[in-house]
Amino acid sequence: PLAGASEALLPRYVRVNPLKTSTDDVIDYFKRQGYTYLGQASSVQELGHLSGKQFLTDCHVPELLVFSPRTDFHQDFLYRSGHIILQDKASSLPAFLLDPPLGSHVIDACAAPGNKTSHLAAILKNTGKIFAFDLDTKRLATMSTLLLRAGVTCHEMANQDFLQVEPRDPKYMSVTHILLDPSCSGSGIVDRLNQLTDDEKSSCEERLLALAAFQRKMLGHALSFPAVQCVVYSTCSLHQQENEDVVQDALERNGTFRLVSVLPSWTQRGLDTFSDAACCLRASPAETLTNGFFVALLQRKREGEDCRE
């Protein structure tokens, strides 16, 4: 097992950007660069056995190619031209699971630096509309560059607090899908915990409480958009307070949404802290060969659907 492993030991994940190219063309490109394509992986274990210049298609997310640890494409032409996006597998799950239909109006509530926005635009094939919000101007500037490079044209970016976005504004009346990836403790990012000083560790508990309160408000706000059907909530935190507890709180406060059980073949599920928590996904270096992560998909119940169905 990879428990406690450094990031250098995780496979390298490459997301193909269909706004610029196709998976077949990217596979051919890497073959011409001397890489050996081994086809589609059938299990996570297979991803852990890659060595040298071998690569695979991921077993869960079809637009992801997987390379051996330490492969670095930051200087590669395909990365610099936006044909591929370098993104951990876990962080490609939220947009993949939200899967908005072509033409949808989507909110990316905490969007910068835009990796998930570009993934949403790829799924939408640049149709419909993505309203992308973030509070941080520097990160929004980075996001502009990223989206331009990725050929994203269906977005509208705003330097705005998502909590101040008015759900009843006619502009958002057709928003059916929301991706909520709010600030979190980042405790799932491999190596980060090992780098904390004792002082930082002792202020953690206080910070965690503040973050959890913020995340609860954000998820409650997302569920209040009148036409919203599906909301994905994700963090790169390992803490139950930022994950299962936030989702449980939202479901208790808003009886019109339920959890959807996503990716049945994904072995690591939400902590068993409330009924249906197993519908959520968790990710970790040891079990899923990714950074630590949490994802939940909430869906509006159909009319007449029982709360506990």
**Among 59, 236, 279, 307, the one annotated catalytic:** 236
- The span of 28-36, 158-166, 267-275, 281-289 binding ligand SAM (CB under 6 A) equals 158-166
Question: CB–CB of 230/298 below 8 Å?
Answer: yes
188 binds ligand SAM (CB under 6 A): no
Minimum CB separation from ligand SAM for residue 76, in Å?
A: 20
Residue 184: active-site member: no
133 binds ligand SAM (CB under 6 A): yes
Applying CB under 6 A, which of residues 116, 177, 221, 239 lies at the interface with ligand SAM? 116
113 binds ligand SAM (CB under 6 A): yes
- The span of 19-27, 99-107, 134-142, 188-196 binding ligand SAM (CB under 6 A) equals 134-142
139 binds ligand SAM (CB under 6 A): yes
Applying CB under 6 A, which of residues 110, 130, 190, 247 lies at the interface with ligand SAM? 110
Binding mask 75-94 for ligand SAM (x = CB under 6 A): ----------------x---
- The span of 48-56, 104-112, 202-210, 280-288 binding ligand SAM (CB under 6 A) equals 104-112
Positions annotated as catalytic residues are 236
- Name the site residues for ligand SAM (rule: CB under 6 A): 91, 110-116, 133-136, 139, 161-163, 181-183
